[in-house]
Amino acid sequence: MKKSLVLLFLILPLFAAAEELNRNPFDLSLSAAVVLPGFFQASFEQGFPPERTVTFINTVSPGVKLVAEYYPKAIPWLAPSAAVHYAPLFLPYDIELGEWDGTEHTITKNDIHFTEVEAGIKYRSFLGDYWSIEPGLYFGYCHIFSSSPDAINNGFIMDVNAEFQRHYRKVHLVYTLGFMAQLYGGVKDLAYIRSYPVVYLGVGMGI
């Protein structure tokens, strides 16, 4: 995945012609992402007492991000925005939650499919003629698909990120640094789930 991102950085500019800027108020971009290791907690009680809480860390995981936004002519520096994230999160090992009701409860390390839909607002500022920086604040809903019922999490997400864009005549390149955290949520009838800010990096192309 790391080699793939480096290759994207090198190849993407070859598809763009550096002529007049494309300042279409509607922006749609697709990026490949890398999710860096972050801390997650699962607890049988809402207050996350240490003796009833399991802490685990994901390994480096790939991801995809789709973003749409609209910069109106009346306020060309501010845009409502929506985004969709997908990442198959990998854990270093299976998480054993214990046995009750005659069943072993386990979160399997390679069967966590994180999906999230979010909405927020972005601010755009041009740095010279061709570059812009676009910080954004989003709130959203996440769902984890898994064959293990112990891993099917639903939660409330906050995402803070900044995009650096290189603008060309027809397209623009997008480089993203983001921090995403699950503030509230969990697995129904089983556990509460939360996370500390998880860092992700992305590179892609927009139109």
Nearest to residue 110, comparing CAs of 58, 55, 35, 32?
58
Does the domain at 2-206 match CATH 2.40.50.140? Answer given as: no
Q: What is the pTM of this model?
A: 0.86
DSSP calls for 32-81: EEEEPP-EEEEESSTT--GGGEEEEE---EEEEEEEEEE--TTSTTEEEE
More confident site: 110 or 139: 139
pLDDT confidence of residue 19: 44
**pLDDT digits 0-9 by tens, 13-50:** 544 444 445 567 899 999 999 999 999 999 989 999 99
Token pair in block for residue 22:
């494309």
- Confidence category of residue 159, pLDDT binned at 50, 70, 90: very high
pLDDT confidence of residue 101: 78
pLDDT confidence of residue 115: 98
Q: Contact, 117 vs 86, CB < 8 A?
A: no
Q: DSSP E strands: which ranges in the chain?
A: 26-35, 39-43, 53-57, 61-70, 78-89, 95-100, 103-107, 112-123, 125-127, 131-145, 153-167, 172-187, 191-195, 198-206
pLDDT confidence of residue 15: 47
- What's the number of CA atoms in the CB half-sphere (13 Å) around residue 28? 0
pLDDT confidence of residue 5: 52
**pLDDT digits 0-9 by tens, 68-119:** 999 998 999 999 999 999 999 999 988 887 777 778 878 888 999 999 999 9
Domain boundaries, the chain: 2-206
More confident site: 41 or 6: 41
